[in-house]
Amino acid sequence: MYDFSFQSPVKSMAGRGKFRSIGEFTGSKKILLISDKIISSMAFYGEIKELLKGRIAGEFAGVMPNPECEMVDEAVTLCKSCGADCVIGIGGGSVLDTAKAVAVLSCEEGKTADYMAGKALGRHRQELILVPTTAGTGSEVTNVSVLTDPKINKKLSLVDPILYGDIAIIDPCLTETMPKRVAAASGFDALCHAIEAYWNIRTSPLCEALSMEAVDKIVKNIYPACNGDGDAQEEMVIASYIAGISFNQTRTTVCHAISYKLTSDYGIDHGLACAFTLIPFLRYESEDPAVKAALDRMGRYCGFSGSEALIDEIDRLYDAVGLPRHLSDRGVKPEDVDAIVDAGMAVPITKLCKREVTREAMHRIITDLL
């Protein structure tokens, strides 16, 4: 008995060199470019500026990781003052999430913090083009913008169909410059997206098919991609995009739920903060016979005998790409575990796992990771 919904309205163009078509999608609009310090110094960013010459009304290159309300307000103010009616975000998840919020909030009067506190987003936004430069977040195809309110030190998600972009440009040329550390963590972020959409109570045959395809690509390509193989990097950005479409239908689950506090309180990068708990939760979820059967199918799709061999391979890859194993190395102390579990259990998406995540299980898993 099926019960699901599916929609993926962002028109996505994928291919090597696609970013050079960016001028075709913007017409005669006045453009605000949003990026960060590193991206805005890249050669491809200069090339994009050249392609859009005469149409750029403003540039905001000040996005920081885990974008905060006030920074978004600053970009919104610039968008209004420069009269831009098209926002182009070029960067990782933080840049894309900022660009999505700016495209909507620049048509509104309120402050970003108001909307994070529950005020409804309006029904209008500027034209919105999203160009990922990492292979992980999937933000280019989701209706979510994850922002941080420093007053309450909390990551919160704005979720609304108005946050879907018009166009996503998935170009492996733009992810080649990722440092290995970023490629590893963002690749595991994408793996979390695919798997959390798969063991999700909201999954569907479409999400299952897309997640299996994404996991197959990630498992085969994350290691060579982290070591500079261009073909593998291309597979990774496609896989991240596919995983984005999948989890956009379902939302993520427990690994993401736990990650928020690890990022807010311990400064752990988003991708790594999610990756830390993926493997123990894969083993936990697969103790449920129905989840095991589904993961067995995913394992066979990826060329393994079943779920155990797949999980073992993910475990091996975790070390191979150099991700750290111990939360204690990141400043998490045994006395912190209760608070992390409290926070993780309180995030509603934890309840989307097919096998119910108990407080005891989460406590044990986090303790084992110290």
Question: In this complex, which beta carbon is closest to a copy of itself, that of residue 186 or of residue 240?
Answer: 240
Helix axis angle, 359-368 to 278-285, nearest 10°: 140
**Binding of residue 293 to a copy of itself (CB under 8 A):** no
- One of 140, 196, 213, 269 touching a copy of itself (CB under 8 A): 213
Closer CB to a copy of itself, 112 or 211, in the complex: 211
Minimum Å gap between C-beta 174 and a copy of itself is 14
- Segment near a copy of itself (CB under 8 A), from 2-10, 39-47, 82-90, 176-184? 2-10
Indicate whether 7 belongs to the interface with a copy of itself (CB under 8 A).
yes
Binds a copy of itself by CB under 8 A, chosen from 98, 186, 204, 264: 204
Pick the piece of the chain touching a copy of itself (CB under 8 A) from 4-12, 75-83, 101-109, 273-281: 4-12
Give the CA angle between residues 283, 156, 130 to the nearest 5°. 90
Q: Which is nearer to a copy of itself, 201 or 370 (CB)?
A: 201
DSSP one-letter string for 207-272? HHHHHHHHHHHHHHHHHHHHTT-HHHHHHHHHHHHHHHHHHHHH---HHHHHHHHHHHHH---HHH
Shortest gap between Cβ of 306 and a copy of itself (angstroms)? Answer: 15
Total residues found in the chain within this entry: 370
Is residue 288 packed enough to be buried (19+ CB in 10 Å), middle (13-18) or exposed (0-12)? middle
Q: Does 305 bind a copy of itself (CB under 8 A)?
A: no
Query: Quick check: helix, strand or coil at residue 121?
Result: coil
Short-list 148, 125, 112, 122, CA closest to 32: 125
Q: What tokens does 177 get?
A: 């410059």
> What angle (nearest 5°) sits at the alpha carbon of residue 121, between those of residues 77 and 112?
40
Determine the distance from the C-alpha atom of residue 111 to the mean position of all C-alpha atoms in its chain, rounded to a whole number.
24
Q: How far is the CB of 2 from a copy of itself (least distance, A)?
A: 5
Buried b (16+ CB within 10 A) or exposed e, 234-264: bbbbbbbbbbbbbbbbbbbbbbbbbbbbbbb
| 59: nearest Cα among 79, 80, 73, 85 | 79
Amino acid identity of residue 180, one-letter, is K
Choose the binding region for a copy of itself from 37-45, 173-181, 199-207, 331-339 (rule: CB under 8 A).
199-207
Site string for a copy of itself, 231-250 (x = CB under 8 A): ---x---xx--x--x-----
Note whether 144 binds a copy of itself by CB under 8 A. no
Per CB under 8 A, the list member of 51, 52, 162, 206 interacting with a copy of itself is 206
As measured in angstroms, the least distance from the Cβ of 248 to a copy of itself is 11
Q: Which of 201, 209, 293, 346 binds a copy of itself (CB under 8 A)?
A: 209
Stretch that binds a copy of itself, among 5-13, 20-28, 47-55, 279-287 (CB under 8 A): 5-13
Beta bridge partners of 144: 159
If binding is defined by CB under 8 A, does position 8 make contact with a copy of itself?
A: yes
Instruction: Compare residues 126 and 246 and give the one whose CB is closer to a copy of itself.
Output: 246
Q: What is the DSSP letter of 333?
A: -
**Does 201 interact with a copy of itself (rule: CB under 8 A)?**
no
Distances (CA, A) of 146 to 21, 74, 132, 155, 240: 28, 17, 15, 7, 17
Q: Which of residues 14-43 bind a copy of itself (CB under 8 A)?
A: 14-16, 18
Contact residues toward a copy of itself (CB under 8 A) are 1-16, 18, 204-206, 208-210, 212-213, 217, 234, 238-239, 242, 245, 301
